[in-house]
Amino acid sequence: MVLSRGWSLFLVGVGVWTWVIWPRFAAAIWNDPRAWSAGTVGEGSPTSFLWVHALLIAASLAIGTTVGALGIRGWLADRRRRSA
């Protein structure tokens, strides 16, 4: 299957968007007092609030990276198909 140029660009855009949004969310979670057992940022041990969000962020970045890579592969395949 060869993706169209438009869909390939859309997938690349989703991958880029993922990498723009989720690291900012990670910083917000890290700085949230609920993420730490002492109730102060960086003090005490990480709570399940932090771990669950860290897992969500990691999974989202992995999926975003995969989607972006598929978009790049689709773009290159479309370019090869058009030049042949």
Residue pLDDT, tens place only, 4-61:
999 999 999 999 999 999 999 999 999 999 999 999 998 999 999 999 999 999 999 9
Output the pLDDT for position 79. 87
Task: Please state the pTM of the whole predicted model.
Answer: 0.87
Sorting pLDDT into bands at 50, 70 and 90, what band is 2?
Answer: confident
User: Whose CA is closest to 32, among 21, 24, 41?
Assistant: 41
CB burial of 10-45 (b: ≥16 within 10 Å; e: otherwise) equals: ebbeebeebeeebeeebeebeeeeebbeeeeeeeee
